[in-house]
Structure 1
Amino acid sequence: MYTYLMLLMLFCIGIAVTLICIPMLNRMLDECGMIRQNFRGDLIPVGMGIVFIPAMVVNSVILLFSNVDSERMLSIYILLFGIMAMSFAGIIDDSIGNRNVTGIKGHFKSMFKGKLTTGGLKAMLGGLVGLLISVTISKSLSGIIVGTLVIALSTNFINLLDLRPGRAIKVYLFLIILSMPFCSNFNREIMMIILPSVIAYFYYDLKALAMMGDAGSNVLGVSLGIFVVLSFNIKVQIVWLILLILIHILTEIFSLTKIIANNKVLNYIDKLGRN
């Protein structure tokens, strides 16, 4: 009973805090000139992914207050650290990012030539964040390597999806909800740190009222990677890692948007609810 009441409380508080913050942050970004053309050419605020942070902090405080177990508290701080770090990298890319270089391959090519792009900084930071978290969670070399790659590639995976309104959040929600029945009760509570905020913001992203930008897609991606590493054994992590590698190889060769557009089922789901 306690678990379900805690989940309900975290859900309601996360929704409420996010809905209160959305109009204020939307106006702030607009007044600061943080606006960009979307795929339709409309100018809308970008970087709205920072709206996930207030509710995340509030729900983390509640969970930390209600848990005295050091391992559980460490898991909360791991998620907080990962989200804060990647949101920071994302807002840098949203505000001063250069769009001349695209794709993870392109960013690494630039780095090897001595030119650091904001996308390259984001990829590098994603790897380092994944490494730090994996070393904290696992002491085996295989666990550290797999965990690092899972967190880093999960972050970039959601970033790859965030090219059309609602697409990245749809995939994120599907994967998180799919995994919840197989997680422990506490890991479900961990998920509730960020999940309610994403649900509350979903309408604004789907209707192209604002862009969450890398400040948002990084948060979703890194939280997904951390959930996988915290909740599942290394066999499951390896399966997810193989899928991530295949997706990244595919997107380096083909356009993900074209792949979705050419598939009737995927195209229908992709456009569902969008204006």
Structure 2
Amino acid sequence: MHPLATGALAGVVASVSLRALGTNPPGGAERWERTNHAGRRVTLLEGPAYAMGAATAAGLTGAGPGPVLAATASAGLGALDDLAGDSSSKGLKGHLGALARGEVTTGAVKVLGLAVTGLATAALVDRDLRRSATRPHGSAGPGTVPTPVDTLVGGAVVAGTANLLNLLDLRPGRALKATVLGAAAMASTRGARGTTRTGAATSAAAAAGAAVGLLAPDLRGEAMLGDTGANSAGALLGTALVQATGRRGRLVALAVLTGLTLASEKVSFTRVIESTPVLREVDALGRR
């Protein structure tokens, strides 16, 4: 299926899912309500709706089992933190520090779970790439068959992207815009000999389509992705990147993700965005 059709399907399913979940919220509406940065009550049901839209589109349009696993498992881990987490520990450093002290937080479970999910996702993606390489007219070129090292790096990229996008979900529309922009970059990434790697464009389209389908209520400050949706979107973007690149691309992506994650422990992304004119205008675009 054409990526545009995949994106449209993801957007429709995500939008319809949000309406359906809002009509009958699992466990009651209050269970999913939170106070945003402006002091308004918003629903976290956008997160499950995003995962439903993205995973459905990826699964039905041939992205492969890896993207579906990334979108759903990451959403489940995010939901654990959304619904059962506490604020005693914050950030990657805080959760790992608590774990070192023998305190098992939901955030630490999520971090470890994302690592496992990322590795499993990369293993599925690389299995498909190896199969493609062995076909007579496979899309993978000479020397592009993934190795265990490539899979390990790819797993870190998936987990790292899931975590990074979650760090952006602090203002209406910000994480969804980042998803659309990231997906556009993934869709245009070329693999060996100018061919798009298996499933990358489809995965990127599913991620972007679900984001577009939920952008309006997010910008209005009525709903937000939460960890559920942000982790799902980030993991799917990371999967598209893994599908589209070889070892060099994955290593570069991992280095960038590591740098940004470490920087987030010291620097406020919101402050950087608001002090940079271009980023500030894009961030505020469409927001009430």
Output the CA distance in 1 between the equivalents of 2:77 and 2:87. 15
Is the Cα contact below 8 Å between 1:47 and 1:94 reproduced in 2? no
Of 6, 10, 20, the match for 1:10 = 6
Quote how far apart the aligned CAs of 1:14 are. 2.6
Any idea what SS the aligned residue of 2:186 has?
helix
Note the residue ranges of structure 1 that are not aligned, 5 or more in a row: 65-74
| C-alpha distance 18-47 of structure 1, shift in aligned 2 (>3 A) | closer
Q: Which range is displaced more, 110-119 or 187-196?
A: 187-196
2:15 alignment counterpart:
19
Is the Cα contact below 8 Å between 1:207 and 1:274 reproduced in 2? yes
Quote how far apart the aligned CAs of 1:106 are. 0.4
Of 94, 99, 108, the match for 2:96 = 108
Superposed, 1:76-115 pairs within 5 Å as 76-115=64-103
Mapped pair 1:249 → 2:275: no
Is the Cα contact below 8 Å between 2:183 and 2:205 reproduced in 1? no
1:68 alignment counterpart:
none
Of 30, 33, 51, the match for 2:31 = 33
2:228 alignment counterpart:
215
Any idea what SS the aligned residue of 1:208 has?
coil
| C-alpha distance 100-61 of structure 1, shift in aligned 2 (>3 A) | closer
AA partner of residue 151 (structure 2): I
- Render the CA deviation track for 1:209-249: whole Å, top value 9, x for unaligned: 11111110001111111111111111111111111111112
| C-alpha distance 128-228 of structure 1, shift in aligned 2 (>3 A) | same
Quote how far apart the aligned CAs of 1:49 are. 1.1
Any idea what SS the aligned residue of 1:33 has?
helix
Note the residue ranges of structure 2 that are not aligned, 5 or more in a row: 128-145, 191-195
Output the CA distance in 1 between the equivalents of 2:177 and 2:245. 22
Any idea what SS the aligned residue of 1:193 has?
helix
Mapped pair 1:187 → 2:196: no
Output the CA distance in 2 between the equivalents of 1:157 and 1:16. 26
Output the CA distance in 2 between the equivalents of 1:214 and 1:13. 23
Quote how far apart the aligned CAs of 1:32 are. 4.9
Output the CA distance in 2 between the equivalents of 1:99 and 1:141. 37
Superposed, 1:1-275 pairs within 5 Å as 6-29=2-25, 31-60=29-58, 62-64=60-62, 76-136=64-124, 137=126, 140-183=147-190, 184=196, 186-275=199-288
RMSD of Structure 2 on Structure 1 (CA): 2.0
Output the CA distance in 2 between the equivalents of 1:218 and 1:228. 15
% same residue: 25
Output the CA distance in 1 between the equivalents of 2:281 and 2:54. 32
| C-alpha distance 176-60 of structure 1, shift in aligned 2 (>3 A) | closer
| C-alpha distance 60-229 of structure 1, shift in aligned 2 (>3 A) | closer
Q: Which range is displaced more, 7-16 or 199-208?
A: 7-16
AA partner of residue 186 (structure 2): S
- Of Structure 1 and Structure 2, the greater helix share is in 1
TM-score normalised to structure 1 length: 0.87
AA partner of residue 264 (structure 1): P
TM-score normalised to structure 2 length: 0.83
Q: How many residues align?
A: 261
- Render the CA deviation track for 1:93-119: whole Å, top value 9, x for unaligned: 111110121110000000111111111
